[in-house]
Each structure stands twice: as C-alpha cells, then as structure tokens.
Amino acid sequence: MKADRLPRRLAAILYADVAGYSRLTGQDEDATHHTLSEYLDLIAAAVERSNGRVMHYAGDAVLAMFDAAVDAVSCAMLIQTQLADRNAGLQDGRKVEFRIGVNLGDVIEDRGDIYGDGVNVAARLESIAEPGGVCISEAVRFSLGTKLEFHYEFLGEQRVKNIAEAIRAYRVVPVSDVVSARVSVLKRLPRTRIAFLVLFIALVAVALAVLSTRNPHEETPLADSPTTPHSETPSIAVLPFENLSNDSEQEYFVDGMTDDLITDLSKLSGLIVIARTSAFLFKDMPRDLKKISNDLGVQYVLEGSVRRAGGMIRVNAQLIDTTSAEHVWAERYDAEGADIFAMQDKVVRNIVSALEVSLSDDEEIQLARIPTKNMEAYDFYLRGRRDLWVGTAQGRREALMNFQKAIKLDRQFADAYAGVARVASMVWRMNDATVLPSPIARKLAYQASGKALSMDPLNAQAYSVLAHLQLADGNHEEAVRSVKKAISLRPGTAEIYADLTEILIYAGHPEEALAAIETAFRLEPDPPPSFYFSQGLALFSDRRYQEAIEPLEKAFEEGVQKFEPLAKTYAQLGQLEKAKFMVDKLFEVFPGASLVEYRANESKLYRRQEDLDHSIDSLRKAGVPEWPFGSTAQPEDRLMGTAIRELVLGQVWTGNDIVNGGPFIQETSEDGKTAFRSGYSLVTGKAWVENDQLCLHFPTFGEHHKICSYLFRNTKSAPGQQNDYVLVGETQVLHFSATPLDRAVGN
C-alpha cells in the first residue's frame, strides 16, 4: 500500500572499496589494516570537506551521500588524487587502492543509513572501476554537464549482478591525461602529418634563431603604460641562494628568501628583473656567468647563500657584473626573527645604490613595509608560495591551507590574504572543483583580495586578482585600471604583464596586448606555455591569423589543451580539415558545445560586439553547430517574455528528452515552483523568465547553478506526438506539449 511506502529522496551516492583487500591482508594483516585505517580517515575528511556525509563503513568499503552529483564526483577525484600521493611511497605489492562508483538516484534514508537501488547501482559501478579510478552512471554524467574539467569515457552498457537493467557507465579521467603531454594531436591528421612536422620543426628552428640573435635590451613599449622597462634600464637576475643549513628541509625557506628579493626588486621601475621561473633554471647548476648573461639577457647577477640555525639567519650575498665578472659588492648579514626583513631591505638598497637606481615615494614605502612580525606566519606563507609553484591541484590545496594557517597566526598579514586570493582565483578560472567549488572559489577570491587591499593599498598581487574578477563581471575599464595599478606597483613582474595581456584582449585592445606579452617574454626568458597562448590569442584578436598559428601550436604542444583558439584560427585561414579535427576533440570533452553556449559565456568577456561576433563567426566556420546535440530551430519561431511565462507558469509539460532519451514530465506552479521527472532524474526547484529565456535552478545541481534555455514553437509538430514546442539549452533539448496544471491534475 502507498501508506506503507518509505519516504525517498534523490541523492548522489559514492561507494568506495579496496581492490585486492584479501590478498593484501593475507600478506601482512597488521600493515594493511594500519594503512586502511589511515586512508579511511582521509576519505572521511574529503567527504566532509565536499559537503557530503559518510553513512557507514563495511570493512574496507565506504558509503557516502551528497546532495549534488558535482560534489560527489569532485570528492571521488580528490580522494583518488590524495590516495595516489600516499601510495607513491609504498611498494607496488603493498599499495592500498580504492575503486569508486558514483550514482544519482532515489535512496531510502532510515536510522542514519541509506538503502535502495540507488545505493546498489553505486556499488556495482565501483566493481566496474579500475583500481585508483572512478566510474559514474549516466544520470551523474548528465547532471554534471560541463561543470567539471574532466573527460568522461563511455564504457557502454554494463550488465551487473542483481540489477535488472544494464547500466550505462562512464569512466572519469582528468583532461590532462586524455591528451599526451607535448605530443600534438595534429600528428594524427591523414596525409599531412609528415609535412606538418617538418614545417613545425622548421618554424621552431627559425624562432630559436631569432631568439638567439635578439637584442635582450630591445623592448616594445606598452601604450599608456609608463612603467614598461626601457633599453637603458639596468637588468638583473637573482639566482637561487644556496642552502647551507644542516637541515635540507630549509630549502623552501631559502627559496622563499630568493623569491622575496625578486619580488622587492620587481617593485622598482628603474630595474629590469628576470622572473623567478627563468632565474631558477640555474638552481643547483654551475654558475657560468657568460652563459647566464647570454641566456637571461642581464648585465648583473645577485647570488649568495643562507644558513638558518634556530632563530638565527646568516646571509652572504654578492652582486656581480657579468660583463667583467667583477664583484660590485659582497657582504654578510646576520638577522634574528623579524630582523630578516630589515636584512632583505639592506640587500635591496645596496643594489639600488650600486646601480644608481632612483626610487619613487611609493617604492620607498613598499620597501620599508614589514609584511609580518610573526615568523611562524611568515614560515607558513613561504611554504604556501612553494606549494603554489608546484602547479598541480594538490599544490593548490596545500598552498591554500598554508596561506590560511599564516592568516590564523597574523590576522593583519596582507600578503597571506593576497596568496589566498591568488589560489582561489586560479581554482575559479580553472574550474578546479577538486580544490573548491567554482562559486565558492570566486567568492573567496573577491573577499581575500579586498581584505589584502584594505590592509595594504599597494599590494600588486591583490590588484591583479581583482582585475580578473572584474573582467568576468564585464567591468572592462575597472579591470584594465586594476591590472595597470598592479604593474605600476611591480613593474618587473612577468606574470602581471601576462594578466594585462588577457584583459586587454577582451577589452578590445589587441595591439596593446601584444606589447604587454612582449614585455612578459623579456622578463621571463624561459616563459611558460600560457605566455605563448596569450600571444596567439592576441594575434588572433588582431586578425593576424597566420602569425597566431605558431604560438598557439607551441602552447598546445606544451600542455595548454585549449581546442577552440586553434580551431578558430585554422578556420579563418581556410584550413578546415585541421579546424574540424580540433572541433572533434572539443566534442570529446564537451559534447554539448554550440554557438548558443559560447555566445552566452563570452558576451560579458568581450567589450566590443565586433570581437564577440568575430569569435562566434570563427567557431561557426570551424564547424561548431548553432544548437547542441543536432537540434534545430528558426529565429522567427522563438518565444519571448510574456509568451514564455504563459507556457511555463501553471503548466504541465509532457514529452521526450532528445539528449538522454525517454519521456519526461515537468510541472510548474503559478509562483514558479517546478519539478522535473524522468527515468533518470527527479529534481525540484524554481523557474523564472530572464532575458527572454526560461531559467531553472535545481538546488541538487549546485547552489549557484542555473540553467537558461530558449523556447520555440514547433511548426512541424504532429498530433499526439507531444512535440508542439522545443526547449533548447546548453545541455538539454526537449520536445513537449503543455497542459494547464488544474486540468492535468483533474485528469
């Protein structure tokens, strides 16, 4: 009877189990149990951090429940990443590896536990997963859409024990694992691959020849930016100081001091300072001054050593003129506790004096500022900077944790807040949900950058982060002002010039963007791939397609796996086979790619309509469809505001889901409360009309996630086919007919 039916709820279920547990316990029961206990604690912490609940443990298995599929999958991938790091230190035969399955379905919640087919399917998905892998159901795959930057490999329909119907399963793979690093997928093109390789090698050879003969003091000025280094400006590289402490663990502290000196010197407009990445290429290498001068294009080198014992620090430093190999000066400094900052100030001022650099009032203030008096907080801050340089999700997690520890010890530590802002901004822009959900990361970046600037109005890093946030909000003028303010505060920082490049592109100033990235290259002789990507994007925006190909291909080869820019550039050059290949790779990662989606996402990014039209037109030429999943619609049949409200509010929709297959019902009350039911989903939320689109918010999909779609009359509808209307969204196409709610209920 219905009265006896237990209440159910829709939930995301995570089931994790150890692969080969019996074998492991048979070999060494105590060691296996000790490792398992440690790993279960790690899993529990990850579940809690991801807004989930561990429902129960069953020996070596864990069952957890989440309100949203995005949280469950993010948590699963976080767990596997952390466990892989732990297992790296164990012998192959002793690794404790979990399989994880994630399902979205109905569960019965009773007495602190959950039951039902939703749980059973998650357990069966776990059995399909590889050791160290994550397997998800199609319901989860649909719910995720494009929220997470993972690749989903379809495993087909899987027949599993005690489940009547086959499960359509997907393996979750980080995008970085899908495309082999530094191996271009263009090599797979038929007939043209050998020619392309020969051409590419020739281009690289020419590029290297140009770089080797380029005058390191030549510079392209940045329009309206008085802070761009000029050819007569003295140039310097701070090489990594040598760690003379007995404790090798002090390496992060010594590298941190080197970073601080680079940062302080980069604040001075009268110096060209080589960026950290290029300077650190010479770490633990013989110091050949002629090679350093040629490779980095500098006249002066600062090098030295650090010995840390207890609270005492001894630093030896020497400034060398590479043209004559003579020491300009050499001194020894002793410091205790916070006196380290006074010591660093002396080193910088000795350089300023020796090179006859003039300081502005703002530069004087910045050099005199002491970041913190709490040396333990400073220690955590240096650890955070070290972790951030790792460049991995795990590194970002550790960096965030260490910056936050520094803040707990010193609530007025502006640089630590700026560090949190930088990490959160990176997580948000990369949509790295394994660290933080995107909306939370964005909010944290805003809060932390604002906090840093309230304490230190001259904090360049905070201004740079703020600029990216302002760009995302469509505030282009504010974004340009913020990033130029950051440059005025740290004119020798390559990374900030790269930030300026991106913002100028979207603000409609490609020529200035190209000048900015050239300055970044000058300050970073061994640039990261992202610099080439920004250069290629600026050239594309300036309609210089042939010139854009080389830097975009180089960035792609070196790990910047962005398919759209190359697809657009190839299309504009008429190389449609290559453009189509890139679009095909795009569909593997984002099967619902469409011009509708790109137009919606890029409308705020581009300040000029002509640049938005240029981007969309290029994608169209490359083969990206107007609508997702092969749907079609005519503009003249589109419904607008009032007509949409009449079709939605107080109506019941019945029809077919074209993307996922199968019937659906959607009921919406007069006040916008809505419920969607199908064979794969049961969700409730809110419906409203915005910008002549129907927008829906289902809390299950995430607190800040809304889905907006277009509605059209179907002029080819047939009686009894429930296809009077068509809904077209980023990840959804529905054919349906509508009936007033009171009439439907009466039936």
Dump pLDDT digits (tens) for 235-256: 888 888 888 876 666 787 888 7
Indicate the average pLDDT of the chain: 81
Please give the torsion angle defined by the CA atoms of residues 408, 311, 240 and 455, in that order, rounded to the nearest 10 degrees. Answer: 30
In our burial notation (b when 16+ CB lie closer than 10 A, e otherwise), range 577-612 reads ebbebbbebbeebbbbbbbbbbeeeeeebbbeeebb
The confidence score (pLDDT) of residue 136 equals: 94
325, 356, 387 - which closes a domain: 356
- When pLDDT is cut at 50, 70 and 90, the band that residue 559 belongs to is confident
Q: Can you tell me the distance from the alpha carbon of 322 to that of 298, in angstroms, rounded to the nearest whole number?
A: 8
Please indicate, yes or no, whether residues 588 and 639 belong to a single structural domain of this protein. Answer: no
Please indicate, yes or no, whether residues 309 and 173 belong to a single structural domain of this protein. Answer: no
Please indicate, yes or no, whether residues 173 and 310 belong to a single structural domain of this protein. Answer: no
Q: Could you report the per-residue pLDDT of 223-232, keeping only the tens digit for each? A: 333 334 444 6
Of the candidates 686, 698, 684, the one whose C-alpha atom is nearest the C-alpha of residue 9 is 684
207 lies in a domain? no
Of the candidates 708, 686, 689, 690, the one whose C-alpha atom is nearest the C-alpha of residue 699 is 686
Please indicate, yes or no, whether residues 622 and 645 belong to a single structural domain of this protein. Answer: no
Strands, DSSP E only, in 347-443? none
The confidence score (pLDDT) of residue 149 equals: 77
Please indicate, yes or no, whether residues 604 and 706 belong to a single structural domain of this protein. Answer: no
Q: Can you tell me the distance from the alpha carbon of 123 to that of 127, in angstroms, rounded to the nearest whole number?
A: 7
Please indicate, yes or no, whether residues 73 and 170 belong to a single structural domain of this protein. Answer: yes
Verdict on whether the full-model pTM lies above 0.75? no
pLDDT > 70 in the chain, percent: 87
The confidence score (pLDDT) of residue 738 equals: 94
Q: Can you tell me the distance from the alpha carbon of 135 to that of 117, in angstroms, rounded to the nearest whole number?
A: 17
Question: Which H/E stretch holds residue 485?
Answer: helix 476-489
Please indicate, yes or no, whether residues 611 and 667 belong to a single structural domain of this protein. Answer: no
Q: Can you tell me the distance from the alpha carbon of 363 to that of 205, in angstroms, rounded to the nearest whole number?
A: 41
- When pLDDT is cut at 50, 70 and 90, the band that residue 176 belongs to is low
Give the number of other Cβ atoms within 10 Å of residue 221's Cβ: 13
- When pLDDT is cut at 50, 70 and 90, the band that residue 191 belongs to is very low
* Strand duo 651-657 + 326-336: pairing: unpaired
Please indicate, yes or no, whether residues 128 and 248 belong to a single structural domain of this protein. Answer: no
- Which residues are paired to 460 by β-bridges? none
Mean pLDDT of 371-393: 82
Are 676 and 698 contacting, i.e. CB atoms less than 8 angstroms apart?
Answer: yes
Q: Above 70 in pLDDT, residue 175?
A: no
445 lies in a domain? no
Please indicate, yes or no, whether residues 119 and 144 belong to a single structural domain of this protein. Answer: yes
705 lies in a domain? yes
- When pLDDT is cut at 50, 70 and 90, the band that residue 550 belongs to is very high
Q: Could you report the per-residue pLDDT of 487-498, keeping only the tens digit for each? A: 988 888 888 999
438 lies in a domain? no
Q: Above 90 in pLDDT, residue 459?
A: no
* Total tally of structural domains belonging to the chain: 4
683 lies in a domain? yes
Of the candidates 455, 389, 446, 466, the one whose C-alpha atom is nearest the C-alpha of residue 416 is 455
594 lies in a domain? yes
Mean pLDDT of 162-168: 76
> Which residues have a Cβ under 8 Å from the Cβ of 444 and sit 6 or more positions away?
420, 421, 424, 436
Of the candidates 566, 577, 552, the one whose C-alpha atom is nearest the C-alpha of residue 191 is 577
Largest distance between two CA atoms of the chain = 95
Q: Above 80 in pLDDT, residue 723?
A: yes
Q: Above 60 in pLDDT, residue 730?
A: yes
602, 626, 650 - which closes a domain: 626
DSSP string, 311-349: TEEEEEEEEEETTTTEEEEEEEEEEETTHHHHHHHHHHH
Greater confidence (7 vs 115) lies with: 115
Q: Above 90 in pLDDT, residue 618?
A: yes
301, 335, 356 - which closes a domain: 356
Please indicate, yes or no, whether residues 169 and 24 belong to a single structural domain of this protein. Answer: yes
Please indicate, yes or no, whether residues 580 and 690 belong to a single structural domain of this protein. Answer: no
Q: Above 60 in pLDDT, residue 55?
A: yes
Q: Give the CATH number of the domain where residue 654 resides.
A: 2.40.128.640
166 lies in a domain? yes
Please indicate, yes or no, whether residues 95 and 239 belong to a single structural domain of this protein. Answer: no
649 lies in a domain? yes
- When pLDDT is cut at 50, 70 and 90, the band that residue 509 belongs to is very high
Q: Per mean pLDDT, which of 160-174, 277-291, 570-584 is the most reliable?
A: 570-584
Q: Above 80 in pLDDT, residue 6?
A: no
Q: Give the CATH number of the domain where residue 118 resides.
A: 3.30.70.1230
Q: Give the CATH number of the domain where residue 287 resides.
A: 3.40.50.10610
Give the number of other Cβ atoms within 10 Å of residue 156's Cβ: 9
What domain range is 344 assigned to? 235-356
